[in-house]
């Protein structure tokens, strides 16, 4: 089975690449893709760069060029739900685009004709993640993740996104990956570590958090890869 592992930034795939052997580099569509064998799995690893366009391009390339048949994405997200705190892991049950707006034509936010507001993550991968979390004693929350091409720091905007979409967290890539995978019939899983929340303090160091959360996410994804390998 060919499995794709994506992040948006180099820091998010670094801990994954460091644990693979005989990694091959491929330059395609102005990006670098890494391939390696992990057990019986053929892995394709890449960081997309930030934003919906780059993440959609990377996901489509991984599927069409490298034959990816399962997609795992990991990165950081901001909390909307008061139940999420810095360092928490959340798996997306479904994703939407909070900045997609053609309401002037009578459509709901996040919708375009022949599309849909929400794209649902693969239930089997979600159940696999739940089992991995249970076995490892890791707290994994589930929720709705909203995606947009903007870093949202305004509390009023966050509350609007939460109310409009029922969203628990927001970021800048997930829904774009979801749309591509849904259209190309590739099961996907989106994992996010919460990087900022209402309870964060002024001494928060994002760079240090990114390093630690990337390692934590990598450990979780490798446990999922082990489970997928065993199921082969």
H helices within the chain, ranges in order?
Answer: 10-17, 52-64, 123-136, 155-165, 174-183, 206-231
The answer to whether residue 196 is catalytic is yes
Q: CB within 8 A of 88, min separation 6: which ones?
A: 79, 139, 141, 193, 194
Q: Token pair of 114, please?
A: 């022949």
Which value, to the nearest 10 degrees, does the dihedral of the CA atoms of residues 157, 126, 118, 59 take? 90
Q: Would you say 220 and 191 are in contact if contact means Cβ atoms under 8 Å apart? A: yes
Q: Is 28 helix (H, G, I), strand (E, B) or coil?
A: strand
The answer to whether residue 226 is catalytic is no
Q: Would you say 162 and 81 are in contact if contact means Cβ atoms under 8 Å apart? A: yes
The catalytically annotated residue of 149, 196, 201, 207 is 196
CA–CA separation, 22 vs 36, rounded Å?
A: 6
Q: Token pair of 142, please?
A: 């589930």
Q: Would you say 117 and 227 are in contact if contact means Cβ atoms under 8 Å apart? A: no
- The label of the residue with tokens 């994002």 reads 206
DSSP 148: -
The catalytically annotated residue of 12, 88, 122, 173 is 12
Q: Could you give the residue numbers annotated as active site?
A: 12, 196
């Amino acid at each position: 089975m060919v499995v794709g592992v994506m992040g948006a930034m180099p820091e998010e795939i670094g801990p994954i690449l460091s644990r693979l052997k005989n990694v091959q580099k491929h330059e395609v569509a102005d990006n670098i893709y890494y391939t390696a064998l992990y057990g019986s799995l053929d892995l394709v690893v890449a960081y997309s760069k930030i934003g919906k366009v780059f993440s959609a391009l990377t996901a489509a390339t991984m599927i069409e060029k490298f034959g990816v048949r399962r997609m795992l994405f990991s990165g950081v997200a901001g909390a909307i739900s008061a139940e999420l705190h810095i360092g928490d892991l959340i798996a997306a049950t479904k994703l939407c685009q909070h900045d997609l707006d053609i309401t002037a034509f009578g459509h709901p936010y996040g919708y375009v004709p022949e599309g849909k507001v929400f794209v649902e993550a693969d239930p089997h991968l979600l159940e696999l993640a739940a089992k991995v979390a249970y076995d490892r004693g890791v707290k994994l929350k589930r929720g709705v993740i909203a995606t947009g091409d903007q870093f949202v720091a305004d509390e009023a905007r966050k509350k609007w996104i939460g109310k409009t979409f029922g969203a628990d967290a927001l970021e800048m890539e997930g829904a774009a990956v979801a749309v591509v995978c849904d259209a190309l019939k590739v099961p996907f899983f989106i994992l996010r570590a919460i990087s900022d929340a209402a309870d964060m303090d002024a001494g928060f160091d994002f760079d240090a958090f990114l390093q630690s959360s990337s390692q934590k996410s990598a450990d979780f994804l490798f446990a999922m890869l082990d489970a997928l390998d065993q199921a082969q």
